[in-house]
Amino acid sequence: MPALMVDIKLITGLGNPGAKYTETRHNAGFWFVDALAQHYGARFLPEKRFHGDVAKIDIGGNSIWLLKPTTFMNRSGMSVGSLAGFYRLQAENILVAHDEIDLDAGTVRLKSGGGHGGHNGLRDIISQLGGRDFHRLRIGVGHPGNREQVVDYVLHRPGKDDQQAIDDSIDDALRVMPKVATGEWEKAMHELHTR
């Protein structure tokens, strides 16, 4: 498992573009980078060459790109790969925020490397980057209890209580971003995972 010894230069939130998907569980990654942009006073602008909406923030003197792919979830890697390639970023410089059905709503976890766990956005990013050594922010959205219902579940909006729990977990994640940005991975994980 890769240790985070380098600064994060790109934080990508995964989701699907368009009003139809804005409030669905699958867009939890978008919710996180939107919250980051708002917190640091940045605004997303469309960038065709990166197949997504892009913003730039500064965390503790570290300049970080924020990216929301507009390619739809299954082609997220096209967007991530375009920006990473243009700025010559390594996988270790990238944090991907995404919905995670294997965590309860309200739980959020940092992870270094690993597989895609059936998440099509992660699958495409691994394929495009040619490796899995990027970092993840796993935003729990809960599980429908039956794998046959997963697709329908993530493409619907959470109930009021789950939405509040997810929003609170995003706030928790925002608080550790200064440590993540400067490579204090262990400290960030400890703080986030012991809340």
For residue 135, indicate whether it is catalytic. no
Taking 3-state DSSP, the helix, strand and coil percentages for the chain, each rounded to the nearest 5, stand at 45, 20, 35
Q: CB-hemisphere CA count at 13 Å for 160? A: 0
Q: Radius of gyration (Cα) for the chain, nearest Å? A: 15
Ramachandran quadrant class, 118 (left: phi over 0; alpha: psi -120 to 50; beta: rest): left
| 8-state DSSP, 6 | S
* Catalytic residue chosen out of the listed positions 26, 51, 98, 119: 26
- Which two tokens mark 158? 């959470």
Angle in degrees, 0-180, between the axes of helices 160-181 and 185-193, rounded to the nearest 10: 160
The residues annotated with a catalytic role in the active site are 26
